[in-house]
Structure 1
Amino acid sequence: MNLNLLRFSPGLYFAPAVDWLNTNFHPVFDAITKLIEAVLGALESALLYPPPYVLIVAAVLVVAFAINIRSAVVAAVALSFCLLAGLWAASMQTLALVTVAVAISVLIAFPLGVLASRRKGFEVAVRPVLDIMQTVPPWVYLIPAVMIFSLGRVPAIIATIIYGVPPMLRLTTLAFNQVPKDLLELGQATGAPPRAILLKIEIPSAMPTLLVGLNQCILLSLAMVVLAGLVGAGGLGAEVTRGLTRMEMGLGLRAGLAIVAIAILLDRLSKGALQGRARSPDRSA
């Protein structure tokens, strides 16, 4: 028996499908590329235009007034480390890429998670898909992204979004499933509309688990940043890759610690902003 006949090669089916997509949906992919490049370029320009010290001071003041002093100290330490490590431009590029990727991931995952918590059939259908997406090695997502969008920042951000959606979607579903039923019944009994129940009861009650999902989304997105350096995305991922290929331990260590600083910064800022927003409806009520 010829064993080659029993072998299954996904590439035999996947490659023609990608070619068909590139042939028939090239204008769509080109529009997505231009949109992402425009948003990412504008954010990078905004972060890199002012001198580093000016941006650090402005960021610390904004965070101190908008969130709290503790978060402002974290922002000062994280941004100062990126500057003193000599990786300011790469850090701002990574910050822009991760911010855009996480924002899009949340915009996709949050409504789907709310829908899954309300429609059990949809939750059952999407669960095996999420299991597969979280089991597949992250670098695998770069392959179809590069085949469709070529090299650069766009395939990196697309792969990062795909990798960041599953944990946020799963934990959003869990968060809304854990909302106490008596609170929902109380809101319905008072005649509150569904939007008011969602904003003033469900989201504040689900906020601790939602913050865990956001934290996981940020961490996984930063993990993809290193791999994205392999496809020309730039930023700290490119510095880690350069340190690895040149066997420069100092460069790789500095870039790795800068990624940790960006992760802590994004985690503290997002947590502080969301917790403050969750408390605001209670004050208004």
Structure 2
Amino acid sequence: MDYFFLPLEQWMNEFVNGWFLPTFSGIFNVISEVFNIFISGVTDLLLMIPAELFTIILALIAWKVSGIGLSVFTIIGFLFIGSVDMWEGAMQTLAIIIVATLVSLVIGIPVGILSAMNDGVQRIVRPILDFMQTLPSFVYLIPAVLLFGLGGVPAVMATFIFAAPPAVRMTNLGIRSVPKEIIEASRAFGSTNKQLLYKVQIPLAIPSIMAGVNQTIMLSLSMAVVASMIGAPGLGASVLTAISQVNIGLGLVSGLGIVVLAIVLDRITQGIGKGK
């Protein structure tokens, strides 16, 4: 269609390189430094804890929230990670997941609450979430690298964009699913809007909110390999190295390490959501 050419690519590049980056680069540098300190701190903390002690603590948590089966799997799985010399990579990956999940929840849950309380906010937020969830994950890497360089920080930012929508949607769904009879009864007893939200709606929406937390963690973990393309450390970097070297053994052990993390985190968050 030569008769109708829209130079959107050129316009976007001129906007970003000609105005956006020169104007806001200082702000993004500060954000990058803050998150880099945060990520490094979490990583150092995880690596400082002896592997045996960390495994025992996580196994006890798994036993408490999900039962003896997951506890045994946690012990075996983390023993495997340590035995194949992937402990440091697993902790680096876990640090990125923790930071990205915290950012997603700190922003996503309040936005979900606002969406549930206000139909106008929901009409604005919903197409944004649709855009965030349908855009290919690789596309997130471009602005992340452009704004934050290479390393763990752009990985966290790209992961946040990819993983935040479930937290927003499930929080919104959980609050809106509270039975109207309970809301009417609470109002009849004189509850204010604030009391209704914090003492009735949010507690009853906890299973749905935790389902959103679970999905956020799983999506964060699924970005581990993708984010390794922009310098994110951890098991994803080992998978990327295995691909570039066609190293089947390295790909197997790093991939199994990601599987162990995924199963343990998934079952623990599911157990918390069910109130076990």
The Cα of 1:179 is off from its aligned counterpart by 1.0
Q: Could you report, residue by residue, the CA deviation over 1:90-114 in whole angstroms, capped at 9, with x for unpaired residues? A: 0000001001101110111111111
Q: Could you say which residue in structure 2 is the equivalent of 1:47?
A: 46
Report which stretch shifted further, 24-33 or 234-243: 24-33
Instruction: State the AA in 2 paired with 1:241.
Output: L
Q: Note if contact 2:211-2:273 (Cα within 8 Å) is conserved in structure 1.
A: no
Q: Could you say which residue in structure 2 is the equivalent of 1:175?
A: 174
The Cα of 1:69 is off from its aligned counterpart by 4.7
Q: 1:260 to 1:199 in 2, by over 3 A?
A: farther
RMSD of aligned alpha carbons: 2.2
The Cα of 1:79 is off from its aligned counterpart by 2.3
Instruction: State the AA in 1 paired with 2:115.
Output: A
Q: Note if contact 1:18-1:148 (Cα within 8 Å) is conserved in structure 2.
A: no
- CA distance in structure 1 between the aligned counterparts of 2:251 and 2:214, rounded to whole angstroms: 24
SS of corresponding position for 1:86: coil
Q: Could you say which residue in structure 2 is the equivalent of 1:11?
A: 9
Q: Could you say which residue in structure 2 is the equivalent of 1:198?
A: 197
Q: Note if contact 1:33-1:154 (Cα within 8 Å) is conserved in structure 2.
A: yes
- CA distance in structure 2 between the aligned counterparts of 1:183 and 1:255, rounded to whole angstroms: 49
Q: Could you say which residue in structure 2 is the equivalent of 1:36?
A: 35
Q: Could you say which residue in structure 2 is the equivalent of 1:113?
A: 112
SS of corresponding position for 1:263: helix
- Correspondences of 1:102-251 after superposition (within 5 Å): 102-251=101-250
Q: 1:62 to 1:128 in 2, by over 3 A?
A: closer
Gaps of 5+ in 1: 280-285
The Cα of 1:182 is off from its aligned counterpart by 1.0
Q: Could you say which residue in structure 2 is the equivalent of 1:282?
A: none
Instruction: State the AA in 1 paired with 2:136.
Output: P
TM-score normalised by length of structure 2: 0.90
Gaps of 5+ in 2: none
The Cα of 1:168 is off from its aligned counterpart by 1.8
Q: 1:245 to 1:110 in 2, by over 3 A?
A: same
- CA distance in structure 2 between the aligned counterparts of 1:220 and 1:242, rounded to whole angstroms: 22
SS of corresponding position for 1:218: helix
Q: Note if contact 2:163-2:220 (Cα within 8 Å) is conserved in structure 1.
A: yes
Q: Could you report, residue by residue, the CA deviation over 1:112-168 in whole angstroms, capped at 9, with x for unpaired residues? A: 111111111221122222112111100100101101111111111100001111122
SS of corresponding position for 1:151: coil
Q: Note if contact 1:113-1:172 (Cα within 8 Å) is conserved in structure 2.
A: yes
Q: Could you report, residue by residue, the CA deviation over 1:18-74 in whole angstroms, capped at 9, with x for unpaired residues? A: 222321122211111111111111111111113312322243346656x46535445
Report which stretch shifted further, 106-115 or 23-32: 23-32
Q: Note if contact 1:229-1:241 (Cα within 8 Å) is conserved in structure 2.
A: yes
TM-score normalised by length of structure 1: 0.88
- CA distance in structure 1 between the aligned counterparts of 2:66 and 2:115, rounded to whole angstroms: 34
Q: Could you report, residue by residue, the CA deviation over 1:204-262 in whole angstroms, capped at 9, with x for unpaired residues? A: 32223222222221121111111111111110110111111111122112212211211
Q: 1:117 to 1:49 in 2, by over 3 A?
A: same
Q: Could you say which residue in structure 1 is the equivalent of 2:268?
A: 269
Instruction: State the AA in 2 paired with 1:143.
Output: I
Instruction: State the AA in 1 paired with 2:189.
Output: T
- CA distance in structure 1 between the aligned counterparts of 2:16 and 2:137, rounded to whole angstroms: 19
The Cα of 1:272 is off from its aligned counterpart by 3.6
Q: Note if contact 2:171-2:208 (Cα within 8 Å) is conserved in structure 1.
A: yes
SS of corresponding position for 2:222: helix
Report which stretch shifted further, 234-243 or 208-217: 208-217
Q: Could you say which residue in structure 2 is the equivalent of 1:85?
A: 84
Q: Work out the number of aligned pairs and report it.
A: 274
Instruction: State the AA in 1 paired with 2:153.
Output: V
Report which stretch shifted further, 160-169 or 70-79: 70-79
- CA distance in structure 1 between the aligned counterparts of 2:270 and 2:257, rounded to whole angstroms: 20
The Cα of 1:274 is off from its aligned counterpart by 4.8
